[in-house]
Amino acid sequence: MANDTNLSQLKMLSADEIGARIGLKGDDEVVERYMAILRDQPTRNRKSRSVKRTITQKLEDEDIPAHGDRFNILNHELVPHHELVDIEDEERVLFPWGLLTTDAEGNPRLAKERLPKILINDPAVQVLKEMEESKVEGLPAGWLTNRVVKVVRYSR
């Protein structure tokens, strides 16, 4: 008889109104049973979907004084240099590793699947993403997918 959408509307109806909807009088025994069933139903509140938030948004929500001092993981001495490679430069940057192959149609392509994977929730990738989004306005969702991050590690 009811789903989550109209249950609250049905609970607001009187016995006479429910009786009229099912073709009975308001003081009928069946209508009284329906009313009792409606009263026993818990009110269901739909949970809103959680929205993914960036590090910057989380910091703004906290009660931390905003002095402009934000820890940038890329500036830490133990974190190697990370940079997002431009799409136009990917072939040139990856050339020394021989990742240029051909696809099924014989067209040249980069075998990015052979590169190590970096997760989107990696703190360094989050900083790179936020830096790029601050420079370029209106990037589409998923713009970072299949991009190349260059990590420079120095040997001693």
The predicted structure's pLDDT at residue 26: 75
In Å, how far are 91, 94, 98, 135 from 109, measured between CA atoms? 9, 11, 11, 28
User: In degrees, to the nearest 5, what angle opens at C-alpha 127 toward C-alphas 124 and 130?
Assistant: 150
The predicted structure's pLDDT at residue 107: 92
The predicted structure's pLDDT at residue 6: 72
Backbone torsion region of residue 46, taken as left when φ is above 0, otherwise alpha when ψ lies between -120 and 50, otherwise beta? beta
The predicted structure's pLDDT at residue 145: 87
- Give CB contacts under 8 A, 24+ apart, made by 84-90: 84/128, 84/132, 84/147, 84/148, 84/149, 84/150, 85/147, 85/148, 85/149, 85/150, 87/147, 90/148
Domain ranges of the chain: 7-40, 69-152
Residues of the chain with pLDDT under 70: 1-5, 43-51, 59-72
The predicted structure's pLDDT at residue 105: 92
Q: What is the pTM of this model?
A: 0.50
CATH class of the domain comprising 69-152: alpha beta
The predicted structure's pLDDT at residue 92: 92
